Structure 1
Amino acid sequence: MKFGKIDYLNLLPFHVYLKRSALSSYKKAAIEYKKGVPSRQNTALRRKSVDAAIISSVQSSRKNYKSLDFGIVAKHEVKSVLVRKNSPPQKDAASASSNALAAVLGLNGEVIIGDRALRAYINEGADKFIDLAKLWHERTNGLCFVFARFCYTSHKSACKRLVRGFLKTQKNASIKIPRYILQNYSKSRQISQKDILEYLKLISYHIGKKEKKALKLFLKQVKNLKK
């Protein structure tokens, strides 16, 4: 199975799970090889260069995709999907969902996502940005926002085992980030270990009834924009 990996901090617990799992060394190498930003994974899955990937939620409803109850969810604020205040309109090429969310919310500034956005939020201050997940939460009477979702086109059983195993660790709160991995990510992303751990508290991964309700509303609003 060829799997596409989003190489952002918000999936760090999943990356740790993959390293500890019983996957063969070949499959682990393949996962590392296919890493990239969400928009790149959208293209890879569509072109069938990967069999499964965590892709932008706005792309997850394609008829030829099967989805599982695992994704990147912000219950309230997120700090890594932002629009810069008082800036000219500019989409972030890395994420389809974030650009679509900004449009749904009627925001026209610069969209900035991922680790780059989190670093800017920390270094420049929250008052310079609009947190899109937080604004969505406020305007929808408390709904979360699903930024990405695990989708696949083949290897159904393997995908289900992978997702089930990871979500079980989240339910039991058994995933700990090894110090050496945390140090490496902190150095490469230029974000302190403390800030990384605080950020991960904002992210959840299980897509249940409430998350599906929020995603359905978002996809409906995106569709309405295109009319």
Structure 2
Amino acid sequence: MIFAKIDYINLLPFYIFIKKNLKSSRVKAIINYKKSYPSLINKQFKRRQIDAAFISSVASRGEKSLDLGIVAKDQVLSVLLIPGEYEKDIESSTSNVLAKVLNLEGKIIIGDKALIHYYKSENKEFIDLAQAWTKKYNMPFVFARLCYNSHEKLLKNLSKKFIQNKVKIPQYILKKYSQRSGISTNNILKYLERIDYKISVKEKKSLKLFLKLSKNISYKEAK
């Protein structure tokens, strides 16, 4: 199975869980990670070049998916809009469209680079898009969900176990990501407290609304 890996801090608990809990060497052998960023992974998934991945919500319409995703209850810190002239983030699909849905103009930045901007930049004039959605609709926002082209049974079992278990991130991995990003290990842990992964009733309602509002906005362009 080819599983596309988005190497952002927000999915760190999931990949640690997979590595720790796949005890069978045979199962480990069939999971091959293919690293990339969300917008490219969406294209690869649609072309059936990969078997499973966290697919941007706006691109997940009509795909086979599980109740596991990347969810923000309120302020998320890693999806920001700097007010001004519109400029999409080439790594993003959902966030570019979300800005349009919220009628917000500016430069969009996502993932670890947005997190770095939040902690490091002197320019604090930005809008947290997850927080903006929550303020307007009083619902969490689902940025991505786990979709699959094959290996449904394996992925269902892994997803269920992941939701049921709290993942502890080893210090050496935290330090690695801290050195890479320049963000302290403490701030990485605080950031991860803002991320949920279970897609329940309220999250599904929010996702349905977002897909309805974004129906006529092409995530491939979002110009």
TM-score interval for Structure 1 and Structure 2 normalised by the shorter chain: over 0.9
Q: How does 1:35-114 map to 2 (within 5 A)?
A: 35-62=35-62, 65-85=63-83, 87-114=84-111
Determine which of 134, 139, 143 is the counterpart of 1:143.
139
Partner in structure 1 of residue 162 of structure 2: 166
| Structure-2 separation of matches of 1:127 and 1:190 | 18
| Structure-2 separation of matches of 1:210 and 1:149 | 14
| Structure-1 separation of matches of 2:44 and 2:157 | 22
| Structure-2 separation of matches of 1:43 and 1:76 | 28
Name the Cα RMSD after superposition.
Answer: 1.4
Alpha-carbon deviation of 1:26? 2.4
Say whether residues 1:190 and 2:182 are aligned partners: yes
Segments of structure 1 that go 5 or more residues without pairing to the other structure are none
What per-residue deviation string (whole Å, max 9, x for no partner) do you get for residues 143-196 of structure 1? 000000000111111111121121111xxx3x1110000000111122111110
Q: Secondary structure at the match of 1:83?
A: strand
Partner in structure 2 of residue 219 of structure 1: 211
| Structure-2 separation of matches of 1:115 and 1:10 | 8
| Structure-2 separation of matches of 1:177 and 1:125 | 30
Partner in structure 1 of residue 173 of structure 2: 181
Scaled by the length of structure 2, the TM-score of the pair is 0.92
| Structure-2 separation of matches of 1:126 and 1:56 | 28
CA contact (8 A) 2:97 2:217 kept: no
Q: Secondary structure at the match of 1:147?
A: strand
Scaled by the length of structure 1, the TM-score of the pair is 0.90
Say whether residues 1:115 and 2:112 are aligned partners: yes
Partner in structure 2 of residue 132 of structure 1: 129
| Structure-2 separation of matches of 1:126 and 1:153 | 42
Going from structure 1 to structure 2, the CA distance change for 1:126 and 1:145 (only over 3 Å counts) comes to farther
Identity %: 49
Partner in structure 1 of residue 149 of structure 2: 153
What per-residue deviation string (whole Å, max 9, x for no partner) do you get for residues 81-133 of structure 1? 01012x32100011110000000011111000000001001112583210000
Larger relative helix fraction: 1
| Structure-2 separation of matches of 1:18 and 1:72 | 16
Q: Secondary structure at the match of 1:164?
A: helix
Q: Which amino acid aligns with 1:48?
A: R
Segments of structure 2 that go 5 or more residues without pairing to the other structure are 219-223
Q: Secondary structure at the match of 1:41?
A: helix
Say whether residues 1:205 and 2:197 are aligned partners: yes
